[in-house]
């Protein structure tokens, strides 16, 4: 199902993308853990609130196996124990997360700290980092 609106929130110049949409410029792609990261999270929050979203479903969750190629070291057990009620076992396709937990998952994806997923409210809202 096609969502009625789609937005790309990015600090990267659209002219510096290849034909597949991959960024090819020189801007640092690591999270700054500061103002830029906060702006991304504020944008996700604003779009979710505008759409009336209170919770999100985890879709296509991914955690690295033995090798990790992210820029930051993965957090021990991806620190999902304090975030999701059942920790890593709760990070599965279809798991429900309140909006504040969804935003924390987005923060962890921005920091490339080991977890990745799409978050969505079916037919209404979707967010992913990549």
Please give the tally of structural domains in the chain: 1
pLDDT in tens, 64-109: 765 555 555 555 556 787 788 888 888 999 999 999 999 999 998 8
Q: DSSP string of 69-103? A: -SSSPPPGGGG-TTTSTTGGGG-STT-EEEHHHHH
> To 5 degrees, how large is the angle CA 51–CA 79–CA 108?
45
The answer to the question of residue 47 being in a domain is: yes
The answer to the question of residue 2 being in a domain is: no
Would you put residue 52 in left (φ > 0), alpha (ψ -120 to 50) or beta?
Answer: left
The answer to the question of residue 122 being in a domain is: yes
**Which candidate, 5, 126, 1, 108, places its Cα nearest to that of 60?**
126
User: Residue 36 sits in which domain range?
Assistant: 14-127
The answer to the question of residue 9 being in a domain is: no
pTM of whole model > 0.85?
no
The answer to the question of residue 8 being in a domain is: no
């Amino acid at each position: 199902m096609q969502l009625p609106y789609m937005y790309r929130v990015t600090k990267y110049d659209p002219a510096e993308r290849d034909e597949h949409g991959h960024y090819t410029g020189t801007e640092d792609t690591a999270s700054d853990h500061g103002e830029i990261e906060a702006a991304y999270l504020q944008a996700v929050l604003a779009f979710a609130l505008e759409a009336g979203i209170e919770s999100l479903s985890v879709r296509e969750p991914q955690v690295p196996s033995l090798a990790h190629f992210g820029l930051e070291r993965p957090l021990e057990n991806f620190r999902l124990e304090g975030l999701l009620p059942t920790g890593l076992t709760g990070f599965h396709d279809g798991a429900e997360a309140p909006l504040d937990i969804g935003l924390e998952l987005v923060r962890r994806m921005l920091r490339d700290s080991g977890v990745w997923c799409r978050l969505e409210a079916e037919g209404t809202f979707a967010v992913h980092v990549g």
